[in-house]
Amino acid sequence: MQQESPNIIALFLGSQSLQDFIRNFVYLDHIQAHNAAEIERLQNLKEDLEATQASLDAAREEAATEKESAETALKAAQEAREERQRRAREEAARQAAEAAELAAKAEAAREAAEREAAKQAEEANADKDGDEDSDEDTYDPTQDENYIAPPTETLEPPTADGADWSMGKDAFIAEWGARIDAYLAGSPLSGYGTTFAQAAWNYGVDPRWSPAISNTESSKGAYCFEPYNAWGWGGGNGWTSWEQAIDAHVRGLAAGYGYTITIANAQKYCPPNWEKWYINTSNQMALI
């Protein structure tokens, strides 16, 4: 009030009349009130700005943390896929070598059995009934419902898929979608390469495997005994679209069989005719 008194006195002395003084006083009071309100508004804006800046800084820090976590998770997923890929190749090669050894042993055993049979036929003097009794007591493993015949020829491991799991998802799907589309051209599954590639990425499976099985089992979807079932799965497995079917099949391969085709997987997928199934499917995979 002491500071304002000289200003009021000066205002009074400078006024030509009392009305002029009152009018000027009211005007100045209005100006001061407006300025005070503006200062308060600006102060509130400053506080809001500081709060917004703090919120943005926190959000930026959180986003950076989430980005780092996402990158770490992506790297871990890529490394896991690459490890599955490496192990699958090693296992496929091991099983192929083992099958080749079994085939060689089976062939040697067959030849030895033929020689022994010929020798016994020449030397046989035993009673016929005795021979029949002996035959009845002989165990025939091929009659076992779980019997799986040994390979009749040398089986090669599948060719390397060449999938680069270190590339991004979009690049992976673009590359493999185009390759699978080229393989499926002209079939009922034509144009679904991207769907196969996306499922392969999502479940970490050799992207060639499911498309190749569709050829072995149904000529790429041309002959399906259940709706959209191009892979010969029984148990009433039918779907309502190719997108649904492809995703389900690739997911099933990942859960029940692993990364890629092996001899053991062929024996599990198609026990009665596993050797032909393995050869046909592997050869088709090499085309993709």
User: pLDDT tens-digit profile of 143-171?
Assistant: 555 555 666 667 888 999 999 999 999 99
**Domain-located, residue 153:** no
Distances (CA, A) of 54 to 63, 64, 66, 158: 14, 15, 18, 57
For the stretch 27-49, pLDDT in tens is 877 888 888 888 989 999 898 88
**Domain-located, residue 204:** yes
Length of the chain: 288
Parent domain of 23: 5-74
Q: How confident is the model at residue 95 (pLDDT cuts 50, 70, 90)?
A: confident
pLDDT of res. 96: 82
Query: 228 or 29, which is more confident?
Result: 228
| Mean per-residue pLDDT of the chain | 84
- The CATH number that applies at residue 274 is 1.10.530
Helix (H) or strand (E) holding 111, with range, is helix 18-123
Which of these three, 74, 99, 131, is where a domain ends? Answer: 74
Query: Would you say the pTM of this structure is higher than 0.75?
Result: no
pLDDT of res. 217: 98
Q: What does the H/E/C string look like for 113-169?
A: HHHHHHHHHHHCCCCHHHHHHHHHHCCCHHHCCCCCCCCCCCCCCCCCCCCCCCCCH
Q: Rounded CA gap, 10 and 150, in Å?
A: 118
Are 67 and 167 found together in one domain? Answer: no
- Does pLDDT of 253 surpass 80? yes
Which of these three, 74, 102, 120, is where a domain ends? Answer: 74
**Domain-located, residue 96:** no
Q: Count of domains in the chain?
A: 2
Which of these three, 20, 49, 74, is where a domain ends? Answer: 74
Q: What is the DSSP string of 171-198?
A: HHHHHHHHHHHHHHTTSTTTT-HHHHHH
